Structure 1
Amino acid sequence: MTLNSAQLFKWSNRLILVGAIVPLLLFLGFAAAISFIDFNQYKPQIESEVQQRSGHELHIEGAIEVSVFPFAFSVGELALKNKASFAEKFGQENLLSVKQMRVEVSLWDLFINKQLSVVGLELIDPKLVLLRGQEAANWEAVARLIPLFSKEEAGVSRRYANASLEDLDLFMRRVSAIAAPKDEAIEADSVVTNALEDRLSDKAEELADPSGLNGADVTDNPEVTAPNASDDLALQWHFESVIIKNGHFELQDAVVNHQAVVSSLNLLAFDVTLGKPFQVRTDFAYRNTLKARHYEFDLSADLDVSKDLSLWQVSDWQGAFKLKLPEAQKVPEMRLVTEGKRFSLNLLEDQIQVTDVQLKALGSQVTTSFSGFYGEQANLYGVVDVEGVNVQNWGRHLGVQMPDFVNEKALTEIKGQLNWALESGTLNVSDMMLSWDESTLKGTLWRKSEPQVSYAYDFTIDRLNLDDYRARFKDDAPMQKKDAGTLADEPKPAEGKSVDLGRMESTYLPLAVPISTLRELNADGKLQIASLTAWGVTAQSVEMELKAGQGKLQLAPFDAELYQGRLTSKLELDVNGKTPSYRWQGKTQQVQVGELLQAGWQTRPLGGALESHFDLNTLGSNASVLKQNLLGELNLSVTDGAFYGVDLDRLLAGQAVAEGDSTAFKSMEIKGPIKQGVFNIQKMGVDSQRFSATGFGSLDLNQGRIDTQMKVLVSNPIKALRHLKGMKVPVRYRGPLDQAVWSVNLQALLAEPGNQKKLVAQLKALLQ
């Protein structure tokens, strides 16, 4: 029978109506069936399945609810329990707990494609606690749920088990890519990555030991079996949205005694597909047990996670974080801005790569890139570029107590670059160039962690002024210069004992370096300084070799060019006692003593070429105390010199001192001990063309005063003083170093028996 057009239209409408009603009836039937099913009855079955696969108990305390449109499952109060050994040792009952979990499934894929596709995931108050002990970690068995960590491939993850030179060469080539131009780096990274992966695949068959991180099997449940990749629904998941509210992540590592916590974690991501990049926005707080600091992060980035969850890559991120100290410290929070191109983490191979990370805060910027393997056998390589770093400001915001420097601008502008490598527990900082306070440092530093932390270095510095880094003892007391009279009234310490710094109005530390740091220092290195200034004295071409250990430091040699002469010495420091002790031994050759005195004491009473031998000891951590505790032996000789501020001929003639007066001499020798900061001149001899002299006296370094007495034998007088020929004239030099005066003791002149005979003889000659 042939249908006419009217009949055809009628039957077409009926078929369309049936086609629309049948799926609707099926959906309504599905919805009705869902509404009548009590999914809570399946809790025991779900818990049993999870325990069989992971070896961990799953407890679902909350209700399981299902909605039809959208088709979503909601589960409340579920917890994945730790095994008894971990729960007992760490006091943590759960490995994972979630207050509420909501999973949305695509109805289209379910009815049309007959495939279960998760399109939305929401977690409320999730808490993940990872624990690691000496023998194993609590996540190892759960990791077997992912095919990547199956028993057949577990050996591949331990990269150092049977690594060959070829493996290491491939790794080095991959690391070096971070320093190559962009196009070359991409090409090199691809080639080397493929080669490295091929090598690891070949090596998988050679590795017979399937043990986990700590030499133990990844699970202690022999009945646990890894699922097939085809059964792993995670590989098929596509999330239209992922939401995490108030998440908590905690890591407790008993191996290194460290705890890190990520809390208040909120995360929002859309169009999430494993193996494809997607955008994510997150904010969270972070703290750890190493420092009493609290961090708050707010970041957005592109995230790419591989299907097997082994490779995580963050790219083109931007964000900021705040750093807070405990409220008791009353330090404003610090805000830091960060951005970067790439952060890649390979969980299977413990591999990390970071490219062009920038950190900006407090007017400074730090840029870094690094790559390599992390973990107990870390091999990392990187570069760092810093600019505009104010150490004092950073120290305040980081909770590091900084000294009150004499120079308020000290360490307020640091910039530079360096390369670093961490290999087998040794940190190597190379190609270092740092500039600060008109100083530039270049060189290399090594830090070893085994068998104890120790340092080695080879540095050169163009200019260093140590006076910039002296610090006031009291933060609230400005430095006040004391006059000689005030100093004279202060009690002196007993020999070998230090002064109570708390009683002093103000003082300077020799250097702002904590004694505790020196006690723990183990170091061996070389330092060359083109120009070094300390207490106003400047030395050139300084060479120092440091050996430090067990609270003792030795600078030997400690040599330098000093005011047209040479210093050769050895300096020892012992910080084991309550008060640091020092010993300085050495000699000087051809040092221009006038320039030295002018620089160190702002006075120039003496000139000439200085030769000396010294052996000095002292105690204290304060410049004033160091002088008061100073003792030792000092032998000085000056050749081709002069006394400035006095013309001995004019002085003996009774004439006033005139500006520019001086008295030349051929040589002068001074010897004697130093006790409690006072140089006791026991032997003094001067020889010149017209006279010679012997004497004694004292130089008080604490008060800056000198008092010497000499008997000047006039051997070749000028015509006006011919009557003094052969006489011993008592001369005294006394007063503050910068104001000392010369005088003749006429009473002593007449009291000298030898002088009396000569005067009587001259008088008789005149009368005859």
Structure 2
Amino acid sequence: MKALGLILKILLGLLVIIVIAVGVIVATVDPNDYREEITDLVKKETGRDLQVETMSLSFFPHLGINLESASLSNAEGFSANPFVSIDKVQVGAAIMPLLSQKLEVDALTLHGLSLNLERDKTGKSNWDDLVKPADEATTKGDKEIKDDENPMDKLASLNFGGIDIQDGQIHWKDEQGQQNVTLENVNFTSGAITFGEFFFIALSADTKVSKPQIASQVDINLEAKLDKDGQYAIRNLNITNTTTGQGIPVKKATTNIELPSFSIENKTLSLASLVINYDIIGGKDFPLDSVKGELTLTEFTGNMESQAFNAKKIALNADVTGENIPNGKATLALNTAAQIDLKAQTANLPKLTLKVLDLTANGDIKATQITSDAIVNANLNIAETNLRDLLKQLKITLPEMSDSKTLTKFAASLGVQFASKTQALKVNNLKVTLDESLLTGNAAVSRFDAPNISYDLALNRINVNRYLPPKKEQPTPAPESQGEVDAKIELPVELLRKLTVNGTIKVGNATFDKLNPKNIVMTTKGSKGKLTVNPLKADIFKTQVLVHAGLDVTGKTPKYSVQTNTKNLPIGEVLLALADSDRLSGTGTMNANITTAGERVSEFKKNLNGTAYVDLKDGAIKGFNLAQAIRDAQAKLSGKAASKTDKEAKTDFSSLVADVTITNGVINTNKLSAQAPFMRVNGSGKVNLPKGTLDYLVKTKIVASDKGQGGEDLKDLNGITIPVKLKGPLTDPSISLDLESLVSQKAQAEIEKKKDEVVKDVQKNVEDKLKDAFKGFKF
């Protein structure tokens, strides 16, 4: 707008010069005879040199003047190029209306106009000397004008034929900003100008900017009206602009602006409608091939004094193409209204709707303190959509899932509040539907550089198995490697040290593999590198499992802790669900308080410390029948054949208690005892997890009984204790059975001759059965 005002001032100055020249010429007959007087007058008024090659007059029916090859010199200290030069100037006035004190001026014709505007390194411009300071603008004659006199009244009867500028050029050279701007092929035409009546204006030009390199072609068409009180109006404004060059991120951008009407009254701008059409062709570094669409603004008002702006409707439609777009093409539609008050620092976007691909969202946005520390409140609703199809359109490859119908139902609604000063984001009334799952609750995060997170979420149910890959037949296991894979546990340590968290999530019903926990509650708290999960509880295995866990990354080495105290735990169901093994059954109590530290599995084992206690009732160890093994041993001692049985290979117990202490990865047995219908078992020893070895002695005392697992057959072994030694690698320990005492107690004399043979035979039988039993356990 400043540049346009400057151009208009220059044109007005030229018109004044021309009118002065006309006055001088009219007083004479041959204007060329008085060329020197004219140039002297211009020199006196402007300090510039005026050169005119040819001047001519016309007298009837129009009084006019024609100038050819005219130029005005540049200001001192600037380039030698003329400030302005014109190939042809023509203007005139009808003679007959002058007799009636009416002024009818022909169109002002300026062909081949060249205007050079410059600014030096100090900020001085080459037109400063042509613009008089405000305190010099009032002359003595001006003071005689009455205050209530309107200067425009003297031009009330003016009828100006318009302006016709052809093949113009405007050059702007800014040494201070190191920038050159050139307007070429400037064409400006207007219709006849009469006060109170609309007239057309057409402007076209080619623009080139040096830094950054931008070239554009602009065409402007409009209708304008000028009233003698100084008010003006514009309608049917149409601007078309095409821009290219390295200074823009695209190859080519074309816009067309249509403004049928607008008015400015009492500092209020009113627009009935504004339509902007755009067509963008992407460049090398632009992510899209093309963007084409329309932006519409309806019933817009803006008060410059109160700085309040309102639009009844804002609509944006776009068609985009590109390799990264689903199917190569997508359509976007955005609609909203707007109320913005800069003084009150408020903004409101009600009835906001967005449609893109298969996603439809609606909501509203309200903001305060928009010019300082903005606080934004938004409500968003995402209509139900097929998330799987949407991700497919976005070319996002999903992992294989057991159920191909997952992710086909997605919807969400939430309220969002964002405070820019505190970097606080709050999500309220969250409601997310995914297939058969519903997530609700609230969440918040502040200080993004050191996140402070809080949440309270609830998930009604989820079947995790549906989202996991389908189970396949297990391939033949590869031979185990000699060395253990020492996996490293990667943790975002720096983030955890900055993180503050306090949140609870509840899950009503979950399914994972063979587990079906219910009423899950997990509360997480932490700050400055220390995090705790307390509690983590769930109803599972017909009881409630309660776990407390902790993580500490304040030091160089991460530290972990786990505590649990669970009663009435069916250990068989747990092993079947977690390890796909039912070698051990029984119901009882399991307590554990364990800590460890490290970044690798080997370090976890080495730094393992704590206690564990298990008390099981009425269970069994499957895969090994200790009673049968002893009966077989007894038969061999008696010289009889081993008995056959169709009963399941298991060892029943009425009570099994294990109490251990763990020190630096070594498990020390405080107590290991079991009560079976026919025997009492006690054990002692160590398990060294870092080395992967064990050294255990299990003593079995026969207690004859007439019930349970052939107790009647063992009456004659009553009181005998049989020790079993387990030693060596955890995965394949050596097992030895000491039958020396059994032999000496029951048949010392008769067995002495063949003791070695019988002992080895029985020992091998028991060892084989024990090894078969141990194969089902993982250490």
TM-score under structure 1 length normalisation:
0.58
| Matched residue, 2:235 | 238
| Matched residue, 2:721 | 728
**Cα displacement string for residues 626-664 of structure 1 (whole angstroms, at most 9, x for unaligned residues):** 678755432222123222334443333235675644443
Q: Distance in 2 between matches of 1:729 and 1:128?
A: 97
| Matched residue, 1:615 | 593
Please report how far the alpha carbon of residue 370 of structure 1 lies from its aligned counterpart in structure 2 after TM superposition. Answer: 2.4
**Cα displacement string for residues 243-298 of structure 1 (whole angstroms, at most 9, x for unaligned residues):** 23328999xxxxxxxxx9899653112234341213221245999xxx99789743
Shift in alpha-carbon separation, 1:438–1:114, aligned structure 2, 3 A: closer
Aligned residue pairs: how many? 574
| Matched residue, 2:431 | 433
What's the secondary structure of 1:652's corresponding residue? helix
Please report how far the alpha carbon of residue 603 of structure 1 lies from its aligned counterpart in structure 2 after TM superposition. Answer: 0.1
Match of 1:640 among 618, 628, 632: 618
Please report how far the alpha carbon of residue 491 of structure 1 lies from its aligned counterpart in structure 2 after TM superposition. Answer: 3.9
What's the secondary structure of 1:665's corresponding residue? strand
Paired residues of 1:368 and 1:383 also in contact (CA < 8 A)? yes
Q: Distance in 2 between matches of 1:394 and 1:47?
A: 64
Q: Distance in 2 between matches of 1:116 and 1:50?
A: 29
What's the secondary structure of 1:544's corresponding residue? strand
Please report how far the alpha carbon of residue 231 of structure 1 lies from its aligned counterpart in structure 2 after TM superposition. Answer: 10
1:445 alignment partner AA: A
Shift in alpha-carbon separation, 1:244–1:599, aligned structure 2, 3 A: same
Aligned counterparts, 1:523-534, within 5 A: 523-532=501-510
Q: Does 1:301 align with 2:295?
A: yes
CA RMSD for the aligned pairs?
5.9
What's the secondary structure of 1:34's corresponding residue? strand
Q: Does 1:486 align with 2:474?
A: no
Shift in alpha-carbon separation, 1:441–1:550, aligned structure 2, 3 A: same
Q: Does 1:751 align with 2:748?
A: no
Please report how far the alpha carbon of residue 614 of structure 1 lies from its aligned counterpart in structure 2 after TM superposition. Answer: 1.4
Q: Does 1:351 align with 2:344?
A: no
Please report how far the alpha carbon of residue 597 of structure 1 lies from its aligned counterpart in structure 2 after TM superposition. Answer: 0.6
Q: Distance in 1 between matches of 2:659 and 2:516?
A: 25
**Cα displacement string for residues 336-392 of structure 1 (whole angstroms, at most 9, x for unaligned residues):** 53212225363624514153432434x655555423334543232223334444699
Q: Distance in 2 between matches of 1:394 and 1:276?
A: 42
Shift in alpha-carbon separation, 1:448–1:763, aligned structure 2, 3 A: same
Paired residues of 1:526 and 1:546 also in contact (CA < 8 A)? yes
Question: 5+ residue gaps in structure 2?
Answer: 1-60, 65-90, 95-103, 120-124, 135-160, 213-226, 263-270, 633-642, 706-710, 753-779
2:365 alignment partner AA: F
Shift in alpha-carbon separation, 1:762–1:669, aligned structure 2, 3 A: farther
Shift in alpha-carbon separation, 1:538–1:248, aligned structure 2, 3 A: farther
1:240 alignment partner AA: L
Aligned counterparts, 1:104-123, within 5 A: 107-108=190-191, 110-111=193-194, 113=196
Q: Distance in 2 between matches of 1:334 and 1:377?
A: 40
Percent of aligned pairs with the same amino acid: 16
Q: Distance in 2 between matches of 1:419 and 1:519?
A: 30
Match of 1:543 among 510, 521, 529: 521
Shift in alpha-carbon separation, 1:111–1:392, aligned structure 2, 3 A: closer
Question: 5+ residue gaps in structure 1?
Answer: 1-17, 54-66, 85-91, 130-228, 251-259, 326-330, 472-477, 493-498, 502-508
Q: Distance in 2 between matches of 1:542 and 1:116?
A: 77
Q: Distance in 2 between matches of 1:644 and 1:446?
A: 51
Q: Distance in 2 between matches of 1:116 and 1:546?
A: 73
| Matched residue, 2:335 | 341
Q: Does 1:672 align with 2:755?
A: no
What's the secondary structure of 2:110's corresponding residue? helix
Paired residues of 2:666 and 2:687 also in contact (CA < 8 A)? yes
Moved more, 412-421 or 105-114: 105-114
TM-score under structure 2 length normalisation:
0.58
Paired residues of 2:569 and 2:590 also in contact (CA < 8 A)? no
| Matched residue, 2:381 | 385
Q: Does 1:416 align with 2:412?
A: yes
Paired residues of 1:356 and 1:369 also in contact (CA < 8 A)? yes
Moved more, 586-595 or 101-110: 101-110
Please report how far the alpha carbon of residue 299 of structure 1 lies from its aligned counterpart in structure 2 after TM superposition. Answer: 2.8
Aligned counterparts, 1:562-573, within 5 A: 562-573=540-551
Paired residues of 1:606 and 1:642 also in contact (CA < 8 A)? yes
Paired residues of 1:723 and 1:762 also in contact (CA < 8 A)? no
Q: Does 1:583 align with 2:561?
A: yes
Match of 2:110 among 31, 34, 38: 34
Higher strand residue share:
2
Q: Distance in 2 between matches of 1:714 and 1:108?
A: 123
**Cα displacement string for residues 23-46 of structure 1 (whole angstroms, at most 9, x for unaligned residues):** x98699744643487765999697
Shift in alpha-carbon separation, 1:560–1:286, aligned structure 2, 3 A: farther
Paired residues of 2:168 and 2:184 also in contact (CA < 8 A)? yes
Paired residues of 1:573 and 1:581 also in contact (CA < 8 A)? yes
Q: Distance in 2 between matches of 1:672 and 1:292?
A: 66
Match of 2:682 among 671, 694, 701: 694
Q: Does 1:683 align with 2:671?
A: yes
**Cα displacement string for residues 705-744 of structure 1 (whole angstroms, at most 9, x for unaligned residues):** 999753221213322111221112346899999x999x99
Please report how far the alpha carbon of residue 397 of structure 1 lies from its aligned counterpart in structure 2 after TM superposition. Answer: 7.4
1:557 alignment partner AA: P
Shift in alpha-carbon separation, 1:643–1:450, aligned structure 2, 3 A: closer
| Matched residue, 1:454 | 452
Match of 2:552 among 562, 570, 574: 574
Q: Distance in 2 between matches of 1:31 and 1:230?
A: 20
Paired residues of 1:573 and 1:582 also in contact (CA < 8 A)? yes
| Matched residue, 1:267 | 255
1:107 alignment partner AA: S
Please report how far the alpha carbon of residue 668 of structure 1 lies from its aligned counterpart in structure 2 after TM superposition. Answer: 1.1
1:371 alignment partner AA: K
Q: Distance in 2 between matches of 1:551 and 1:409?
A: 40
1:586 alignment partner AA: T
**Cα displacement string for residues 33-90 of structure 1 (whole angstroms, at most 9, x for unaligned residues):** 434877659996977999999xxxxxxxxxxxxx978768966455899xx9xxxxxx
Shift in alpha-carbon separation, 1:727–1:80, aligned structure 2, 3 A: farther
Paired residues of 2:110 and 2:166 also in contact (CA < 8 A)? no
2:672 alignment partner AA: M
| Matched residue, 1:712 | 700
Q: Does 1:604 align with 2:582?
A: yes
What's the secondary structure of 2:272's corresponding residue? coil
Match of 2:277 among 268, 278, 281: 281
Please report how far the alpha carbon of residue 393 of structure 1 lies from its aligned counterpart in structure 2 after TM superposition. Answer: 5.3
Q: Distance in 2 between matches of 1:334 and 1:517?
A: 39
Larger Rg: 2
What's the secondary structure of 1:277's corresponding residue? strand
What's the secondary structure of 1:651's corresponding residue? helix
| Matched residue, 2:27 | none
Higher helix residue share:
1
Aligned counterparts, 1:19-168, within 5 A: 30-31=106-107, 33-35=109-111, 76=170, 78=172, 100=183, 107-108=190-191, 110-111=193-194, 113=196, 124=207
| Matched residue, 2:137 | none
Paired residues of 2:116 and 2:171 also in contact (CA < 8 A)? no
Paired residues of 2:694 and 2:726 also in contact (CA < 8 A)? yes
What's the secondary structure of 2:517's corresponding residue? strand
Q: Distance in 2 between matches of 1:626 and 1:550?
A: 23
Q: Distance in 2 between matches of 1:744 and 1:557?
A: 42
Paired residues of 2:594 and 2:611 also in contact (CA < 8 A)? yes
What's the secondary structure of 1:602's corresponding residue? coil
Shift in alpha-carbon separation, 1:540–1:709, aligned structure 2, 3 A: farther
What's the secondary structure of 1:318's corresponding residue? strand
